[in-house]
Structure formats: structure tokens, C-alpha cells
Copies of this chain bind each other. A is one copy, B any other.
């Protein structure tokens, strides 16, 4: 239990440590920190902004001394899963955004060592400034998100290093009792591979720091990939479940054979596709909410019978290999998919010339398509904006230049589950999500990404408007039903929002071990209590 009378002295000590600029108690600022992209009730007593690892360690020790729970956040862009709002009330937010230094760059081998506050955009810009051929695996989310925290949360990037948590080396962390620990090979003085290999000899304790409340990671090396000389993209549409199963089988086989890489194949249902192509048809519907099914009528006639849109990307070291890949993919997809478009430098040139007829005949917006698939693809280490701006989908005002979904009260809930790499499962998940969302009069939006050749992740996003009375309750019910139903069908979530941290493993021994580990590492229970520790299911 938190001793509330301790808060004053704790904050006073923090003030003495950090200075008045970096201890925030002003209620209007705290209210901002308390906003997520869905309604939350949690209250935050204060926000502390340490500027370096020593200050972080000292704050953690103070938190132990005074038994004040603290909740670290790096950039707070965990949209749809809780932003920077603690799982429980009464936790002081430790905002690490001031720690935004790029500490090291191995320009030969491709590794970037960063503090928690370094953003994707910052890393992308840095590599550009260095004229480096190395790329960071970027995300479909906000460019201002933390590179380190996203990997730590097992966030998903795109391209060969898309499974971001597997391509990083945690080097340093502050334990819940305040000790600074060097991890991985960095625990050994002078180890030359500490920024290249994720673990040293002995148990991989670093695994405990992913999706957890067992440490504050303060230094991480992010492995980089080399810009491929040749890149091509394919887009296509799918009408039926049979086609889906065929397409998925073909692509999976191409991935098993190395033609398609990890996180380079993506399937979206049409609702998700629509949300990135247009804004909600408020004016068409006379400013009234319309049914999701009616919204689908906004699709061009030529693809109105389709259920999914797919994207595949390939990387090639030579033109010849690119050519062979293209032939393979075309052969695999042609019999099953519709409107297959291959985008490479030549076809992009031709498409630009034929901009107008393409729009007229096929309802294709060439410029949008080419930006995403050719000019600045997120699959090629660029940050992205169109998928991000869709968070304003149900807002009645257009997305502003500077996004702030919490301030603008956008409603976003995310669900992320593991799905075997099989078309029948994709169809089943899509059906389930569509059924539940339509019952809730919300657009069901599903995406699937190939994490590797064995399983996919599905990202389900529920977009709404927090300003519309009752819509939050509807969205919450929709979110909870989908999460539960998916899990029951075997599609276990692999990321959890702060509202779902009671989604616990069924195995009692697993739960007990998590509880024991938390007790051992954090005896005073001060670090982000409730976050990924499944405490609601603990035996007491």
C-alpha cells in the first residue's frame, strides 16, 4: 500500500534532485498525462523528468525509501494500448524523454546504441545525416515513438528486422531496487560484441525486461539492416476465403524459400483499407453516424466485392534476382488475386504518366499508392504518416498537422494476437472481428503481418471518437469481446493494453513464478505495479 503522507517528502527530495523544471505537479499538465486514447480513471500525482541514468537510479531509490510507485515512459506514444497512463492510480510518471542521446553508431556492422528518449524519426534522420547505408526497422505508428521502448514492448517494425525485440541488445537497466545493471555481453568488461549479440553466457535475464515491470532499460543497441539495392512492392485484392487460403499458402511457401522475407507480407480487411484512403463520410451521411456496412459502399465498384487487400515487398541484391522474384510472385498470385499491381521504378514511371486513366478506370490514386509503395515505403526504413493519420478516422474535424490523439480525444484501442500462418485462421479472425465490431456499430479493422515463416500477428484497431457520449463504453465492450473471443479461439494476445493487464496466463505455476520474480526484484512493489505482472490472478 502506498503511504500517501510519503508523497510530499518524496516529491521534495525529487525536486532537490532534479530541480523545479523537472518535477511537474501542475494539474493541467498532469491531466494531459492522464489522457489515453480511451477513457481512463487513473490519477497521476506527479511527473518526474530525469535527465540521465544517475538521476533515474536515484529516483528509483527514493521511490523505495518512500514506497511511492513509479511508472516509466519513454515517449508515451503507446497509442491504443494506454499511452503513458499507469496501470493503476497513484503512480508517479517517470518521463524519460530528456534522455534522447544516440550514444554510439557502428557504421561498419550496423548497430545504433540509444537512450530511451530517442525517436524513430531521430534515428532515421541521424542515419540520413551520416549518409549511412544502414536502415532502422521503422513502424507503422508515430515517428515520435521511442525506438528503445517500442522494441522493449515487443513492438513490430517492418522489413527483415521487423520482429524488433529479437534484433536489439539491452545493455543497461535500472533494477526496481535502484541498482544499475549492465546486461548481456556488456556485463563483461570490454566485450567487443556487446552491441551486436543480445546475450552473454548464462541465463538470458534480459528477457525479463521485455513487456515487464522488472527494470527501467536505459541503454539499448538496435541492430540495423542494409538498404537493399532493389526493392519492389506488390498490391492485390482478394475476394473469397478460398482465394485467401491459396494466396496465403503461396506467399508462405515463397517465404519458406526466401523470396519473401519476414514482415514483408501484409493483409488488411477492407475497412482498414478504407480508413487509410479516406476520412469518415460525415458529409455524405448528413453528419450522422452510418452503419459500417454502408461505409464500405464508399469503395470503388471495382473492388467492392473484395474482402482483403494484400501487400508484398521484396528486396534484391541484383536486378536479375529482382526479376526472378517478380516472376515467382506474379505466378503465385495471378491465379488467386485480383488487380495485382507490381510497383518498381519502371512501373512507377509508367503509372505516373497514366495517372488520370488509372484514376478514372480503376479508382487508383497513383500518388498515394506510389508514396506508400515506392517513394517512401515504410518497408524501406522510412517513417510513415497515412496509416497514422487514420487515428482521426471518426473525428468530425480533419487530422491536424501535429497529431495528438489524447488531446484531440481520438478513440483508439488496439489488439494484437498471434495467429498461425494459415489462411483459414486469417479468415476466422477476420470473421470474428467483423461480427463483433458490427454488432457494436464500429468499423472492424484487421491487419495481418508475417512475423516470420511460422506465425502472423494480427493487429486489430478500433477507432472511435472519445467526444461522442457513450461511444467509449461501446468501444470498450467491443475491444474486450474481441480480445476474449480471440483468446478463446486460440489466438492469444501477445501485447496488452493497460486496460487488459488482467488478461492472465492459465497456468498457475507460470503465474506463481511471475509473482515470485516480481517479489524478488521489486520487494517494495514500486515499479509500475500491475504492468504485465497479471497480479489480479495472483494467489495471495
Query: Per-residue 0/1 for A480-511: is the Cβ within 8 Å of any B Cβ (1 yes, 0 no)?
Result: 00000001111111111000000101110110
Other-chain residue from B180, B190, B223, B517 in contact with A520 (beta carbon distance below 8 A):
B517
A509–B320 CB distance below 8 A: no
Is A318's CB within 8 Å of the partner chain B?
yes
For A505, list chain B residues within 8 Å (CB): 182, 187-188, 200, 202
Q: Please, how many angstroms separate the alpha-carbon atoms of A111 and B421 in the complex?
A: 12
Q: Is A1 an interface residue (CB 8 A)?
A: no
Q: How many copies does the complex hold?
A: 2
Chain B residue at minimal CB-CB distance from A428: B192
Is A236 part of the binding interface, using a Cβ–Cβ cutoff of 8 Å?
A: no
How far apart sit A420 and B221, CA to CA, in the bound complex (Å)?
14
Report which of B179, B454, B521 forms a contact with A196, defined as CB distance below 8 A: B454
Q: Tell me whether A422 and B108 are in contact (CB under 8 A).
A: yes
A510-540 CB mask vs B (1 if < 8 Å, else 0) is 1011101101110000000000111000000
A487 contacts across to B, CB distance below 8 A: 188
- Residues of B near A186 (CB, < 8 A) are 507
Q: A188-B506, A196-B454 are in contact. Are A179 and B512 (CB under 8 A)?
A: yes
Please, how many angstroms separate the alpha-carbon atoms of A353 and B504 in the complex? 65
Decide yes or no whether A370 CB sits under 8 A from chain B: no
Q: Are A509 and B328 in contact (CB under 8 A)?
A: no
Is A257 engaged at the interface, CB distance under 8 Å to the other chain?
yes
Alpha-carbon distance A272/B169, docked complex (angstroms): 32
Does B506 contact A187, Cβ atoms closer than 8 Å? yes
CA distance A236 to B489 in the complex (A): 53
- In the docked arrangement, what's the CA distance between A503 and B189, Å? 12
Complex contacts, A315 vs chain B, CB 8 Å: 258
* A42 interface hit (Cβ, 8 Å): no
A357 CB within 8 Å of chain B: no
Name the interface residues of A412-446: CB closer than 8 Å to any CB of B.
418-422, 425
Whether A110 sits at the interface, judged by CB under 8 Å, is yes
Cβ of A453 < 8 Å from any Cβ of B? yes
Pick from B182, B189, B317: contact of A328, CB under 8 Å: B317
Say yes or no: is A9 at the interface (Cβ < 8 Å to chain B). no
User: A108 to chain B: which residues have CB within 8 Å?
Assistant: 422
User: Chain B CB within 10 Å — which of A180, A505, A506 has the most?
Assistant: A505
- Given A109-B454, A514-B203: A328 in contact with B318 (beta carbons within 8 A): yes
Residues of B close to A206: CB separation below 8 A? 207
- Taking the complex as formed, is A209 at the interface, i.e. its CB lies under 8 A from any CB of chain B? yes
Are A185 and B492 in contact (CB-based, < 8 A)? yes
Of residues 156 to 204 in A, which have CB atoms within 8 Å of B's CB atoms? Answer: 160, 166, 175, 179-183, 185-193, 196-197, 199-204
CA distance A517 to B261 in the complex (A): 38
Kindly state whether residue A323 has any CB partner on chain B within 8 Å.
yes
What residues of chain B lie closer than 8 Å to A418, measured between beta carbons? 185, 191-193, 196-197
Q: Which residues of B contact A361 (CB under 8 A)?
A: none
A19 at interface by CB-CB < 8 Å: no
Report the stretch among A65-73, A122-130, A210-218, A337-345 that lies at the interface. Answer: A210-218
Find the B residue at minimum CB distance from A255.
B226
**A455 lies within 8 A of chain B by Cβ:** yes
Interface centre among A229, A487, A492 (most CB of B within 10 A): A492
A26 partner residues in chain B, CB cutoff 8 A: none
Decide if A256 is an interface residue (CB 8 Å cutoff).
Answer: yes
> Bound state CA distance, A228 and B492, in angstroms?
32
User: Is A259 on the interface with B (CB-CB < 8 A)?
Assistant: yes
> Using Cβ atoms and an 8 Å threshold, which residues of chain B touch A401?
none
State whether the Cβ of A298 lies closer than 8 Å to any Cβ in chain B. Answer: no
A41 to B141: give the CA distance in the assembly, Å: 58
Given the contacts A182-B507, A506-B187, A507-B187, A256 and B320 also touching, CB distance less than 8 Å: no
Asked if A225 CB lies within 8 Å of chain B CBs, one says yes
* Contact indicator A181/B507 (Cβ below 8 Å): yes
What 0/1 pattern do residues 435 to 479 of A give for CB contact below 8 A with B? Answer: 000000000000000010111000000000000000000000000
A-B contact pairs, 23 of them (CB 8 A): A109-B420, A185-B418, A193-B418, A193-B455, A193-B491, A196-B420, A196-B421, A200-B494, A200-B505, A201-B492, A201-B494, A201-B495, A201-B532, A202-B211, A202-B505, A203-B214, A206-B207, A223-B454, A225-B256, A257-B317, A259-B317, A320-B324, A324-B324
Excluding A197-B455, A207-B207, 19 further A-B contacts by CB distance (< 8 Å) are: A181-B507, A183-B510, A185-B494, A193-B418, A193-B419, A196-B420, A201-B492, A201-B494, A201-B496, A202-B534, A203-B211, A203-B212, A208-B208, A223-B454, A225-B453, A226-B453, A229-B257, A321-B324, A520-B520
Chain A residues within CB distance 8 Å of chain B: 108-111, 154, 160, 166, 175, 179-183, 185-193, 196-197, 199-212, 214, 223, 225-226, 228-229, 252-254, 256-259, 261, 315-318, 320-321, 323-325, 327-328, 418-422, 425, 451, 453-455, 487-496, 503, 505-507, 509-510, 512-514, 516-517, 519-521, 532-534
